Amino acid sequence: MSTPPLRKDAARNWRHIVETARQYVDDGKPLQLNDVARTASIGVATVYRHFPTPEALLETVALPAIEKLLRRAEHALAEDDPWVALREFLAAVIEVMLTDPAVPPVFAAATDTLQDTGDLKRGLAIAFGELLARAHAAGVIDSSVTESDMTPLMCGIAYAANMQSDLDPTERAALGLRYLDLLLTGLHRP
pLDDT tens column, 98-143: 999 999 999 999 999 999 999 999 999 999 999 999 999 999 999 9
For residue 57, being part of any structural domain is answered with: no
SS3 annotation, 50-75: HCCCHHHHHHHHHHHHHHHHHHHHHH
Residues 27 and 107 in one domain: no
Whether residue 160 sits in one domain with residue 93: yes
Residue 139 and residue 93 share a domain: yes
Do 86 and 171 fall into the same domain? yes
Instruction: Flag whether 45 is in a domain.
Output: yes
Q: Are residues 158 and 134 in the same domain?
A: yes
Residues 9 and 80 in one domain: no
- Could you tell me if 14 and 71 lie in one domain? no
32 and 84 in a single domain? The answer is no
pLDDT (tens digit, 9 = 90+) per residue, 84-94?
999 999 999 99
Residue pLDDT, tens place only, 19-62: 999 999 999 999 999 999 999 999 999 999 999 999 999 999 99
Structural domains counted in the chain: 2
**Domain match, 168 and 90 both:** yes
Residue 95: which domain range? 62-187
Residue 6 is part of a domain; what is its CATH number? 1.10.10
Q: Is 101 inside any structural domain?
A: yes
CATH number at residue 170: 1.10.357.10
